[in-house]
A and B are shown apart, each in its own frame.
Chain A
Amino acid sequence: MPAKQGFLITVRTARQGAAMEKGKLSAEYVAETATLTLSPRDYEELGLKEGQQVKLSSDSGQALVTCRFSEGPDGVFFLPLGPTANALIGEQTYGTGVPSYKGFNVEIETLDA
């Protein structure tokens, strides 16, 4: 199973915002907040197809996400703010009150076919 180390950054997306206001229990919100954006080169390296599910692991947790690609830096993955991202973020705030929403190390791993 191909795997890669990378840096995860949580972001806002228009779809996440709009779906959140429709209802956080809506299928749209759940799906959008579990959609990971990667660069085309990471996509190629991992042999991914648009819409494929992968496993993300951090020091604090694991989550399944669906992949989408978009121009961006290699090795940096973007996940909308929401419950899926919250399962991966560590509790450390380094004395600031703010956890590392904008960046922590993760491993991305494709699942068995």
Chain B
Amino acid sequence: MPVTIHKDIVCTFCGALCDDLEMHVENNKVIDVKNVCGIGRNKALHGDNDKPECRVYGERATLEEAYDASARMLAQARSPLVYGFSSTVAEANRVGVELAEILRGGLDNCSSYCHGPGVLARQHVGLPTCTLGEAKNRADLVVFWGANPMESHMRHFSRYSVQAKGMYTPLGRKDRKMAVVDVRPTPSSKNADLFFQVTPGSDYEIATVLRALVLEMPLPTLTDDSLVGGVPLARWRELVELIKQCKYCVVFFGIGLTQSQGKDLNVEQLIRLVSDCNRYTRVYAMPMRGHANVNGNNQVFVWQTGYPLAISFNRGYPRFNPGEFSVIDMLNRGDVDAAIIVATDPAAHLPYTAVDALKKIPTIVLDPVNSLTTEWANVVIPVATSGLSAAGTYYRMDNVPIRLRKIIDCEWPTDLEVLQNIKERVLNAKDH
């Protein structure tokens, strides 16, 4: 069989959405990938293999039977949940929102328990931010706070931040300084010029003291040796000086900040710090979004409902309340009596109490590969893989939308097609 080479393909694993991959396809299979990290490689090589069987209550079923069963389960429920979407295209997200509205159900995405607090912080204090292109071309200082891209976003350093060679940073790493704030040394911190090993849960305190230093406020109770988050104040002064003296700084923050004690408040204080720094020089913040299109979830949900996550349509119009309508809280309280899960694997990512709650109710899952959830879900619908056998739009961590192409064929429908089919059937069921 001839090998077809596809260039400039988008990797759909992490929020860095590298769009320079070269994929070699033979006999409708990706056999080799270039310009990719280890995780992205496995995603490309295995992302369209190992399809689950189409099943209804454990029995092999046709797609039509699966659509009918799904529509029935959802239409009969009093409080259904539509949830997931982090690894599917914006177009499918949109139909997911519509379905939740028709069902008067709950609607949430995976940012609910990862970067959601950062999204809430942005609602409160805004976010001075930039694109990854600007980081690459302009940043002479990059700070990673609670993030370890060497293990989670492996090409971030070389494509966008630490080593990337840009217009005003032609020498890459030599034209930049790098600082890392984390609770332990990591492969990422080993590259840093300055590393701050901090006490877990002290991010809010640190950001507060940094703000005071930036704003030159008095700190009468602290001396240079006083520990702030486990690090002497004198070292934090060093970081502040580095920031004030740089031309362009980007602070990339990870779930080390959003999932630690303080959560959204940590991010809020960090954003305020970044805003304060703009009195001296240009400083921006950017979340290191994890799953490839989890940012797209927030984008689509906001443009469709006004809210980024944790939404309820049970009164017929969208309401938003994290902690009440968040997927984990809804499940733990037993507030959900049927669920449709799209492009995520709750059994691998949620606390077991939430997984147990899902196992007790009718659960439908759409997944391009076998997962821990497809093992037990009541309806399993195999789908095409976004970016390999399905086209559409993903949003990069810096809010830039990127178009995915379809490079191989798949016998199964896309998430979008499945959701449209289920939506039509639910509408019909509700009409009668």
Q: Which residues of A contact B (CB under 8 A)?
A: 7, 9-14, 17-25, 60-61, 70-73, 76, 78, 81-83, 86-87, 89-91, 93-103
Contact = CB atoms under 8 A, between A and B. Distances in A.
Given A23-B370, A101-B259, A103-B261, A9 B200 contact: yes
B117 A96 contact: yes
Nearest to B325: A97
Contacts of B371: 24
Contacts of A99: 113, 328, 351
B403 interface: no
Interface residues of B, number: 61
Given A73-B197, A102-B200, A23 B50 contact: yes
B42 A18 contact: yes
A58 B326 CA distance: 23
A14 B327 contact: no
18 contacts: A12-B152, A12-B290, A17-B39, A17-B151, A22-B42, A22-B46, A24-B370, A71-B184, A73-B197, A73-B199, A73-B200, A81-B349, A96-B116, A97-B310, A98-B116, A98-B258, A98-B326, A102-B256
Given A12-B152, A18-B38, A102-B260, 9 more contacts: A21-B43, A22-B42, A71-B184, A96-B322, A97-B113, A97-B326, A99-B328, A101-B259, A103-B261
Question: Which of B351, B353, B372 has the largest count of A CB atoms less than 10 A from its CB?
Answer: B351
Contacts of A18: 38-39, 41-42
Question: Which of B114, B151, B323 has the largest count of A CB atoms less than 10 A from its CB?
Answer: B151
Given A76-B184, A96-B263, A101 B113 contact: yes
Nearest to B371: A24
A13 B148 CA distance: 9
Nearest to B347: A83
A13 to B, nearest CB: 5
Contact of B370 (A25, A61, A70): A25
The 5 closest A-B pairs by CB, nearest first: A97-B326, A95-B323, A21-B42, A72-B184, A102-B259
Given A71-B185, A91-B353, A23 B369 contact: yes
A98 B121 CA distance: 14
Given A18-B39, A18-B42, A23-B50, A98 B370 contact: no
Contacts of A23: 46, 50, 369-370
Nearest to B39: A17
Nearest to B372: A24
B348 A83 contact: yes
B232 interface: no
A13 B310 CA distance: 28
Contacts of A87: 352
A38 to B, nearest CB: 11
Dominant secondary structure at the A interface: loop
B271 interface: no
A46 B344 CA distance: 38
B109 to A, nearest CB: 11
Nearest to B115: A98
A113 B364 CA distance: 44
A54 to B, nearest CB: 19
Nearest to A98: B113
Contacts of B327: 97
Nearest to B329: A93
Contacts of B263: 94, 96, 98
A5 B398 CA distance: 40
B332 interface: yes
Contacts of A98: 112-114, 116-117, 258-259, 263, 326, 328
Interface in B161-214: 183-185, 187, 197, 199-201
A103 B351 contact: no
A97 to B, nearest CB: 3
A85 B250 CA distance: 32
B95 interface: no
A103 B260 contact: yes
Contact of A14 (B38, B290, B354): B38
A16 B419 CA distance: 30
Contacts of B38: 14, 17-18
B322 A76 contact: no
Given A101-B255, A103-B261, A73 B352 contact: no
B332 A76 contact: no
Contacts of B349: 81, 86
